[in-house]
């Protein structure tokens, strides 16, 4: 239960942060760690959106600390590096969060802040999946587990590039969809257009990879028990393509961008569980 709650809180934290960015409320609290010099800031929608982002982060921090402590006690050997890494990255994430505000949302630092949050989320999913008692911690990149891990890494990179597109204000560099500046290949390919179009190309490659992965799972009788998850992944990927179009056509409407990230997190979670199923066949870490 602790693991699931922690994962849920970090899922909410990442999506909430995306909505804050969509509302352009990232500097609604221009100071840190206080907000307008107060523990409880004055009421205004944009201020409270950013303020509650910080509150969720504080609650999620407490739960991750409790989960990491429990896993450190239950894990053995090299597996203990997982909770230690989670807490180390979380400490860095807190520092990055303060720097992002105080430096007024620099593009590269804000993207790194998002990517670090994604890694912490995935480490929380790992600790929720392997409790160290009934499910010994394990890791493998051999065979089919490496395939699932690799596709998950592609989705991670796509999400990170999407964050860079957003923070570099390139989200509407291509104002149309599925074309870009009126064609499948834009006539001008520099600056924001290059960033945005690169994100679309990578998204297309990821979608085709997931289609191929689903086909492989369906055709491989040894993966029969994973077909349900593979089908869910394919549906999420299809939905993600359509939501990506809606993000552009609604001119970055904040609920559309929030849903876009939520589906990406869902895709990573499904791929993680596909990876876990294969890893359990290999055995525990030393």
| Rounded average pLDDT over 30-59 | 87
Neighbour tally for 118: CB within 10 Å: 20
Domain boundary assignment for the chain: 1-137, 138-286
Q: How far apart are alpha carbons 123 and 121 in whole angstroms?
A: 5
pTM: 0.91
| Structure confidence at residue 286 as a pLDDT band (50, 70, 90) | very low
Percent of the chain residues past pLDDT 70, beyond the cut: 98
Q: What is the mean pLDDT of the chain?
A: 90
Segment 246-272 shows an average pLDDT of 93
Q: What pLDDT score does 282 carry?
A: 65
What are the φ/ψ torsions at residue 146 (nearest 5 degrees)?
-65, -35
pLDDT at 55 over 70: yes
User: Which tens digit of pLDDT belongs to each residue from 139-179?
Assistant: 888 888 888 999 999 999 999 999 999 888 888 999 999 99
For residue range 13-39, what is the model confidence (pLDDT) as tens digits? 999 999 998 888 888 888 888 888 878
CA distance 13 to 279: 28
173 to 20, 96, 196, 260: CA distances (angstroms): 21, 27, 6, 18
Q: What is the pLDDT of residues 184-228, one digit of tens each?
A: 888 888 888 999 999 999 999 999 999 999 999 998 888 888 899
């Amino acid at each position: 239960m602790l693991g699931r709650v922690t994962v849920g809180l970090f899922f909410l934290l990442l999506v909430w942060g995306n909505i804050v960015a969509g509302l352009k409320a990232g500097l609604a609290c221009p100071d840190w760690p206080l907000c307008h010099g107060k523990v409880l800031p004055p009421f205004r929608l944009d201020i409270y959106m950013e303020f509650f982002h910080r509150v969720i982060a504080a609650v999620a921090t407490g739960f991750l600390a409790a989960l990491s402590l429990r896993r450190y006690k239950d894990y053995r050997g090299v597996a203990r590096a997982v909770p230690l890494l989670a807490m180390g990255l979380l400490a860095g994430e807190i520092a990055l969060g303060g720097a992002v505000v105080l430096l007024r949302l620099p593009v590269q630092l804000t993207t790194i802040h998002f990517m670090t949050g994604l890694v912490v989320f995935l480490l929380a999913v790992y600790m929720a999946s392997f409790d160290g008692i009934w499910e010994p911690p394990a890791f493998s990149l051999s065979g089919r587990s490496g395939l699932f891990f690799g596709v998950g890494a592609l989705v991670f990179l796509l999400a990170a590039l999407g964050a860079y597109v957003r923070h570099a204000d390139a989200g509407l560099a291509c104002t149309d969809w599925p074309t870009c500046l009126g064609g499948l290949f834009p006539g001008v390919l520099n600056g924001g257009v290059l960033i945005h179009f690169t994100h679309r190309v990578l998204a297309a490659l990821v979608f085709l990879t997931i289609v191929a992965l689903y086909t492989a799972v369906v055709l491989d009788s040894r993966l029969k028990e994973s077909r349900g998850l593979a089908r869910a992944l394919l549906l999420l990927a299809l939905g993600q393509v359509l939501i990506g179009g809606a993000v552009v056509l609604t001119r970055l409407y904040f609920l559309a961008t929030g849903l876009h990230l939520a589906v990406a997190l869902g895709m990573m979670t499904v791929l993680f569980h596909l990876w876990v199923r294969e890893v359990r066949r290999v055995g525990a870490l030393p």
